[in-house]
Each structure stands twice: as structure tokens, then as C-alpha cells.
Amino acid sequence: MAELIKVGMADYKVGANPASLISYGLGSCVGIALYDPVAKVGGLAHIMLPDSKQARSSENPAKFADTCLPLMLADMIRDGATKMRITAKIAGGAQMFTFANATDIMRVGERNSEAVRVVLKQLALKIVAEDTGGNYGRTVELNLTNGIFRIKTIDKGEKEL
Amino acid sequence: MTEDILKLSDSQLDALKEVGNVGAGNAATALSQIIQRKIDMAVPQVAILPLGEVPDVVGGPDTMVAGVFLRVYGPAPSSILFILPRESAFYLVDTLMGRTDRKEDILDDMDQSALLEIGNILAGAYLNALSYFTKFTMLPSIPALAMDMAGAILSIILIQLGQMGDHALVIETEFTTEADGVKGHFFLIPDPGSLSTILSAIGVKE
């Protein structure tokens, strides 16, 4: 069986065919799958926060959209991917609890998704598919053989991007 | 006082454990009265964990759980999250409603409202203890409920903590009913800044 590489919260991993990259239980976090279909090299990031500049000290650049994605992209290129061919698929950014007067922290999912779109645009990477928002958790898996990004939920079914 | 949770002393951690102990004790007593079952409570854990490892406390990020979330207002704003495995949530509402014939794996409006009320009562009982130790008035918000993957539910508090650092201070208590195994995890997560306020108020500055 092909290797299944786990990506934890505030982490990213890159890999190549025939492995798969998986991240469990995304809520307001966002999962970003980058894939080069020719080299069959890809990466999966599980970011927690939009912007490293708005946070206090952190030793972990993989926590933020703005610092994580350039690192993951560089690792993929090191492993044989070509930037021109890389496309992005994103999922997550839910609001898990509904409050009458949601504060900023409640809407962080939305802000995360937006930050990811901005950073991908800055990196000149095209988003070809997206499944964000809602009020439910997602487990995401990137198949590095074919680039399919599978999204599993508890009761909103399963889809492939 | 700086607030580096990696630099908390043993006596500070012990003090937090004691607060957790009394708070969860109150909450367990309240829960025991609601469902009229004896409830055992484990010794509270006060752990400093990398953020990504917190979901493992409740069985891993893809474990199906019900979560009741409340904000705590007052001098030391915090969050409370009460997490139950899915089966325990069903058991709890069925016991409360005097029902024995659950067919569907969903919570109807009445069930949800019952779980929210349980969360409310437990949080109130817990906060009574915290108020007693700190002499602060601490008020819980209206509770919110979600039934989903543990990682997704915990993300609401982990993201908030992630703005301050890479670790979480988790004050966590596990409950179990005697025979039929309702399990629950009660988390108290002080907001950034609130921890030092709580520690000062209970008189353990170092």
C-alpha cells in the first residue's frame, strides 16, 4: 500500500507519487494542497492563522499562511516540481460554533481562507478548486499519483476536488 | 509578570491543578445530580502541550465528538470547552430525556438544547470554584454546540492560543459514569494574559 503521510496542525509535508498526504479534522484551519501533475510532487499544509505579522513570537512558520506556503513551495521545487505547473486546491476555514455576536476569533476561518487566497496570488499559484466555509470539520487527503484532493466530512458527505 | 507558559513553576502548576480539581468536582456533582448516576472523576491534568497534540487528549483529531463551547467574561477572560465522545453525548441526552429507544445517530433540537443546558450547568459549577479561588466574578456566555471531528472543534481554542505561542496550557478533567461509561473532558483555557491574572489572584506568583 502506498505511504500515507500525516500532516499535523500547524505543519506541512511534501511528498511524491505514490504517497498520499493527509490531514485530519480541520475546522477553522485551512488545508492547502499544491501539486505538480508532471513531476507528481505535491505538498499539503495545515495552517492555523492568516498572518505571522499579527501574532506574537512563534518558532513555527508552518502555523501561518504567509510564512508556510513559500517554504512548502521551495521544498517542492527542491524535490523536482516546476513552479509553472503547480496548482493549488484549498479546503477548510469553517466556523465551528455559531454565536449571535461572533467576534473576530469566531470568524478566523473566513480570514484564514482569505489570507490563503492572497498569499497564493502573491506566489502566482492558481487556485483550481476550493471547498471552504460552512460550519463543519473536514479531513483532507492529497493523492500524489493523480492530484485528487479528497475531502471527508462527518455528515456532509465526501467530495473530490 | 511575563506569561511564558513554558516557564510556569511547579507550585503554579499545582495551584492550577487544584483549581481544576475543585471546579471539575463541582461540575461532576452537578452532572451526577442531573443524570442521577454516580460519576467518577480523574485527577485533573494540567499539561503544557504543543498545539497540534491537544486533540490527542480526546482521542485524536478525527474522533467524533460533541463540544459545548462557552466564553468566560470577567477580569480573566477564558474559554471553556466541554467535549464528549459522540456515544456519550447520545447516552447523556437519552438518560436525561428518559429515552431508551434511540434509532438515529442525530441530535434533534430538544437533544441539542439539553446538551447546551448541561454545558451551561457544568460551566457554572466550574466557574463557581474559580470565582471562589480568585474572588473574581466570572460569567459564562450563552453556550454553543457542535458535533464534529475533535480537531475541528478544538481548533476554535487552538487558533486563539496559536496567536501567542506554540503551546497550550490545558487544564483538563475526565469524567466517567460508573457502569455505562459516559466520558467527558472539561477544558479550561485562559486567554492570553488571563493566566497571570488568575495566578496572581490565587496568590502564586512564582
- For chain A, the domains span 4-160
Given a cut of 60, whether residue B27 has pLDDT beyond it is yes
Rounded Cα–Cα distance for residues B8 and B14 (Å): 10
Higher pLDDT, A15 or B22: A15
Which of B51, B146, B151 is facing A25, going by the closest CB pair? B151
CB contact, 8 Å: B116 with chain A?
A: no
pLDDT of residue A77: 97
**Are B167 and A121 contacting, i.e. CB atoms less than 8 angstroms apart?**
no
List the single residue in A with minimal CA-CA distance to B145: A97
CA distance B45 to B48: 10
Would you call B191 an interface residue with chain A, using a CB distance cutoff of 8 Å? no
Kindly state which CATH superfamily the domain B5-201 is placed in: CheC-like (3.40.1550.10)
Tell me whether residue A68 is one of the annotated catalytic residues. no
Does the A4-160 domain belong in CATH 3.30.1330.200? yes
Q: Say whether pLDDT at B2 is over 50.
A: no
Q: Which residue would you say has higher pLDDT here, B90 or B176?
A: B90
Of A97, A116, A107, the C-alpha closest to A46 is: A116
Helices (H), A10-151: 65-78, 108-122
Mean pLDDT of the residues in chain B: 84
The answer to whether residue B1 scores a pLDDT higher than 60 is: no
Please indicate if any CB of chain B lies within 8 Å of the CB of A56. yes
Residue B125 has a pLDDT of 85
Instruction: Decide if pLDDT at B95 tops 90.
Output: no
Please tell me if residue A139 touches chain B, with a CB cutoff of 8 Å. Answer: yes
Q: What is the mean pLDDT of residues B165-194?
A: 78
Q: Which three cell numbers stand for residue B146?
A: 457542535
B146/A96 CB distance under 8 A: yes
**DSSP 3-state of A10:** coil
B-chain CB neighbours of A111 within 8 Å are none
Is B194 a residue whose pLDDT tops 80?
Answer: yes
* pLDDT one-digit tens code per residue, B44-64: 778 888 888 888 888 889 999
pLDDT in tens, A75-91: 999 999 999 999 999 99
Name the active-site residue from A7, A14, A21, A29.
A29
Interface A-B, measured as beta-carbon pairs within 8 A, has a size of 108
Overall average pLDDT of the A52-67 stretch: 84
Higher-pLDDT residue of A27 and B13 is: A27
d(CA B199, CA B145): 30
Cell digits of residue B142: 450563552
Region A34-60 average pLDDT: 89
Selected residue of B7, B156, B159, B161 to mutate for chain A interface (largest A Cβ count, 10 A): B159
Beta-bridge partner residues of B147:
B66
Q: Is residue A25 pLDDT above 90, yes or no? A: yes
Give the nearest partner residue to A98 out of B144, B147, B160, using CB atoms.
B144
Beta-bridge partners for A73: none
Using the predicted structure, report yes or no on whether residue B21 has a pLDDT greater than 60. yes
Say yes or no: A136 contacts chain B, CB-CB below 8 A: yes
Judged against a pLDDT cut of 50, whether residue A154 lies above it is answered with yes
Q: Which of A12, A46, A97 to mutate to test the interface with B (most CBs of B within 10 A)?
A: A97
Task: With H, G, I as helix, E, B as strand and everything else as coil, classify residue A71.
Answer: helix
Percent of chain A predicted with pLDDT > 70: 93
| Lowest-confidence pick of A9-13, A134-138, B197-201 | B197-201
pLDDT attached to residue A101:
61
- Domain edges within chain B: 5-201
- The mean pLDDT of chain A is 92
pLDDT in tens, A95-145: 988 776 656 556 889 999 999 999 999 999 999 999 999 999 999 999 999
Residue of B nearest to A49 (CA): B159
| Partner-chain contact B164 A105, CB within 8 Å | no
More confident residue, A24 or A101: A24
